[in-house]
Structure 1
Amino acid sequence: MEALRGISMTCAAGEFVCLLGLSGCGKSTLLQMIGGLETPSTGQIIVDGRELDGPSRSTSIVFQDHGLFPWQTVRSNVEFNMKARGIAAAERRTRAEEMLALTGLSAFATRYPHELSGGMRQRVGIARALTTKPRALLMDEPFGALDAQTRGRLQSELLEIWVAQRTTVLFVTHSIDEAVFLADRILVFTPRPGRLAADVRVDLSRPRDPRSEGFAELARSLRMALGTDGGSE
């Protein structure tokens, strides 16, 4: 199956880029290739100035399924990526505490995943991904399984974290409203095989109001680019 065709794109340091497309268009496949989890059949992926030949220490991935270990506490889950890289225990603890504070989870450090809400579990996944100080944070529809209210709250919290860290973010979504709310740039994908239909710069100031005329106008233009005129998804 040909998932993607003729993709050529770049992301600047500190940029927030959304990959927007209908389900099955290959955007998650592209994200996994950028993360070194899939190998492209043709072409190159350059991360931090070097051609990618496997998972890169410059990137961390957050999936829709948070993937927490149920038998470990929140703190232990947050420390896991650092432990896997052989970082000393004292440094792991210090960095984990920083990320727990950043994501508002300090009071829950000794809890277990089953004691947390879905939104809090996803925040643990984000904290874990940030502990290794990635140059790029790759996010594959991380809020897709959450209710609308929790999703909106986490979108705002993610932007606060991004402002504090200024990590490059590549964020996969099929929600037009989510892309407009979050992104500096939106890359619009065609149905499979995924191709870049548009590269849209979002010039709206933050925080963005989904009820504003500018927000609605950009959402309408993105629906046209996607070839759909119904809803925001």
Structure 2
Amino acid sequence: MSQAEKARHFADLHKKGDPVVLYNIWDAGGAKTLASAGAPAIATGSWSVAAAHGFDDGERMPLDFSLMIVERICATVDVPVTVDFEGGYAVDPSDVAENVRRVIRAGAIGINFEDRVVGGEGLHPIPAQVERIEAITAMAEEEGVPLVLNARTDLFLGTDPDSHKDFMGEAQEREAAYAEAGAGCFFVPGLTDAALISQVVETATLPVNVMMMGPLRSVAELSALGVSRLSYGPAPFRTALSDLKRRFEET
């Protein structure tokens, strides 16, 4: 498949109630292993990629180094590859778009793009984040790749679950704005309440992505809620390191 065909195929994998399951990896070896096991697509996790190469998360890994890893992953597998690109390694919309252009030219067909202010506090205001998404989607059109932009909101991640119901109005506002700007999916990591997930799914026009964490354990249960994409985030990397440590200790 061409890169554009891979992008369209990946977008088609997002089916409400029959989600694409992405077991996030951190290197080309992991990508090849999952592809050979039948994974329909590969997704990186920024925390895992950074930690695996001795960096902290939060765009602390040099951009050129990060892109080298992306290029190796994309060259190793034939399935679509989507990259956790955090906040795009920039703030200005044109700078973000140029950085994402490099991700596309490395072979990826999708990105996670978060609204958290990387290295700062809080979230980007909705109009500012919309400008950034619009710049990315316009650039992707120039490149001829229908990039699947997974618009991540950090409203819920790292906050008290008891307060999540208070964020629903803003979450719905952000989803609508990001969809209008050209996003292809809406990611709500940290949201783990089934009723609230169902509410997001019911009001969203975009496919909804949740992260398997906390009480979220069952793919079947989340499928029943109507989600379209499931991610595992840093959990696979942490499990792999724990297994490595245990096996060494048992030798």
Higher helix share: 2
TM-score range, shorter chain: 0.3 to 0.5
Query: Structure 2 length normalisation: TM-score?
Result: 0.37
Query: Structure 1 length normalisation: TM-score?
Result: 0.39
